[in-house]
Amino acid sequence: MPPVDRLRGVPMKAAVLLATASTFGIWLFAGYYFMNRVDDIERRTAEINARYMRAQDLLSTVRAQVLLASVFVRDALLDPNPGATDYHRQVEDVYVAVNQALDQYEPVLDSTAERERVERLRQQINDSRQTMHLVLGTDSSRWPREARDLLRTVVVPKRELVIRVSEEVQALNRTAFVEQQRQVAEVYGASQRRLWQLLGGALTASFAIGWFVVGYAGRLERSLKRQRIQDSRNARELQDLSAKLITAQEEERRSVARELHDEVGQVLTAIKVELAVAQRAIEARGESAHLLEDARSATEGALTTVRDLSHFLHPALLDDLGLPATVDWYLRGFSRRHGVHAELLQSNMSERLAPEIEASSYRIIQEALTNIAKHSRAGTCRVYLQRLPTTLLLTVEDDGVGFEERPRDSSAGLSGLGLIGIRERASHLGGTVGIESAPGCGTRITVELPARSRTASGERSDLPADALPENDEKAVVNG
């Protein structure tokens, strides 16, 4: 399985964060490693330099003190009155300082050769110390005569030996220092190579992570595109199905209404007439016909119910007289049934509209008035019908309690079944729905539909079905 396929279940945000964190971690590790190596090299270099300088200073001090001791001995040999100065103490102080300097000495490399040379230097200094004290311990009266020989044969050779050994130690230190610098340079070069390897690995890993992220993003984009296409196809299919259901529902209502009006209504009318004839015949013979009167009243009530139900399912006025007359008739019945004062205002509604426009407009107004009767507790409502150049504007408003706008998935507000039906019908025709409401301020529903005129055959006259605009629902809540 490709690596990108294994990431299909990972959210895009998590994948980007993971890639960013991985890249940052790689670069952070490379920087941390390089800084540690540089700090280590600098620390080692500083230690070597400090140890070397201290060793050289101490050796220089040893040489200077040895020279000073020989100077004291020379002064003592050449002094005409040597008893006036304590040369023994001066020479001893010098060699005490020399021993202290050697005690503080730290080898640069701490190798066997260096330790042996330092130990040899210490021995030569002790020999020089003993020799100086021996010279100062001889008969001072002979010093003026033997000073030159003592200096040439005893003092100077010992001094030169100590200085030579100290120079050997210094030379060894310099060699060790150079070797240490070479090793530090090698370590630095190795660290540089390692750093470039880490940087190369970090760049490679960064490009690889970027490739994974780009591939994953591309796969998600293609998946989302396919999903959008599928969703759009499903939405169109659902819209087509909804349109077919609405059309089938209207046809079924029209068929049932016609059957009720033509068949059941006629039968009830015939029964009513027959009962009236029978009642008159019985009364003509002088007998009581009150039972037939009750039957006639029940038949009259059943006939009225059948007519009302037929008009509710599909009013014949809508086919015969058009939308304004049908809405006016329905508003009168609505006011009588629910005690809500309802009025109709219309403008430019003289021309008949396409049958599906009139039927959907009537059902939309019917749904809106049903909502008013159920929920608004309104005392007055108005219905506006306005024909514009290309659209039909339907407005239903009331002075009821109103409501606060809620998400569509809530249990009230814009998610009510009546309003869903309004949106479905408007969407089927390519119209728009606007809802304005606030608590205590009433509600206004505005629906805008395409104003297609009725042709001679009763079909749509202008826009084809596939040219209808998409549904553009609008909801506004006024405070």
Tell me which residue range forms the domain holding 195: 3-221
131, part of any domain: yes
Same structural domain, 185 and 329: no
At 377, the amino acid letter reads R
Q: Which residues contact 313 (CB under 8 A, 6 or more apart)?
A: 253, 254, 256, 257, 260
- pTM across the whole model: 0.45
Same structural domain, 211 and 103: yes
List, in sequence order, every beta strand (DSSP E) within 225-282: none
At residue 10, the pLDDT reads 55
Domain boundary among 206, 221, 236: 221
Kindly report the CATH number assigned to the domain that includes residue 343: 3.30.565.10
254, part of any domain: no
Q: Which residues contact 315 (CB under 8 A, 6 or more apart)?
A: 257, 326, 329, 330, 362
Q: Which helix (H) or strand (E) holds 28?
A: helix 12-78
235, part of any domain: no
Distance CA 431, CA 419 (A): 14
- Cα-trace Rg, the chain: 58
Q: What's the whole-number mean pLDDT along residues 218-235?
A: 86
Kind of pairing, strands 391-398 and 380-387? antiparallel
Same structural domain, 24 and 171: yes
Encode pLDDT of 98-128 as tens digits.
Answer: 888 878 877 766 677 777 777 877 787 888 8
Model confidence band, residue 203 (pLDDT cutoffs 50, 70, 90)? confident
Higher pLDDT, 450 or 418: 450
Q: What's the whole-number mean pLDDT along residues 461-475?
A: 35
Model confidence band, residue 473 (pLDDT cutoffs 50, 70, 90)? very low
Q: Which residues contact 328 (CB under 8 A, 6 or more apart)?
A: 344
Encode pLDDT of 1-57 as tens digits.
Answer: 444 444 455 566 676 677 777 777 777 777 777 788 778 877 877 877 887 788 778
Q: Is the pLDDT of residue 341 over 80?
A: yes
- Dihedral sign, Cα of residue 230, residue 232, residue 235, residue 237: negative
Instruction: Report angle CA 116, 118, 123 to the nearest 5 degrees.
Output: 95
